[in-house]
Amino acid sequence: MPRLVVLSEGLTGRTHELKTDKVTIGRVEDNSFQVPDGSVSSHHCEIYVKGSEVWVKDLGSTNGSFINGQQITEAQLRPSQILRLGQVEIRFEGDTPAAPQKRVIDHTQVIPQGIKLNELDQTAKVATNPAFEKKSNKGGKIFLAIAIVVAVLIVGAIIVLLMGVGQK
């Protein structure tokens, strides 16, 4: 797969494969290929595939875009050529990519039909299947019973205390 390989010191070895038909290169994070160097503009250039060719378009960068030392505004990029953005040199490697494949549009349509009479029996069988039965809540019932007993004991204790205070 064709790719860009940074050659400049400090960034040596950074690569970006050309998987899409348009790649933006620049210093900031929202680019497809970020090159964090002060001589590279925030949105320096874009690389795009046009048929079986790869093209570079300068996006009005401050320090310019160059292919093999020649300043360009828009030019074809060929394998082994050096693209210089500001002070950063990048080599284009690999074969020229094949034309991007067009997406196949799915023409599947969903037609609402509802449920048919003969399917009603199958639905009833699923409903009686023990795997789909409602689970019992024994733990909740035990907790409720204990809470009621505790509440009755507390109310009884309060009544006993009030009666004891009233007799004094």
Cα separation, 65 vs 24, whole angstroms: 13
Whether 91 shows a pLDDT value over 50: the answer reads: yes
* Mean pLDDT, residues 83-96: 87
What's the pLDDT score for residue 117? Answer: 65
Q: Are 6 and 93 in contact (CB under 8 A)?
A: no
Position 157 confidence tier, pLDDT thresholds 50, 70, 90: very high
Task: Please name the helix (run of DSSP H) or strand (run of DSSP E) that holds residue 125, with its range, or none.
Answer: helix 117-127
What's the pLDDT score for residue 50? Answer: 84
Q: Are 43 and 26 in contact (CB under 8 A)?
A: yes
Per residue in 128-149, pLDDT tens?
666 666 677 788 889 999 999 9
More reliable by pLDDT, 83 or 133: 83
Strand partners, 3: 17, 93
* Mean pLDDT, residues 25-33: 94
pTM of the model: 0.55
What's the pLDDT score for residue 118? Answer: 65
Burial 89-122 (b: 16+ CB within 10 A, else e): bbebbeebbeeeeeeeeeeeeeeeeeeeeeeeee
Position 124 confidence tier, pLDDT thresholds 50, 70, 90: low
99: its two tokens? 């034309």
What's the pLDDT score for residue 98? Answer: 47
Cα separation, 58 vs 46, whole angstroms: 7
Cα separation, 18 vs 54, whole angstroms: 10
What's the pLDDT score for residue 167? Answer: 67
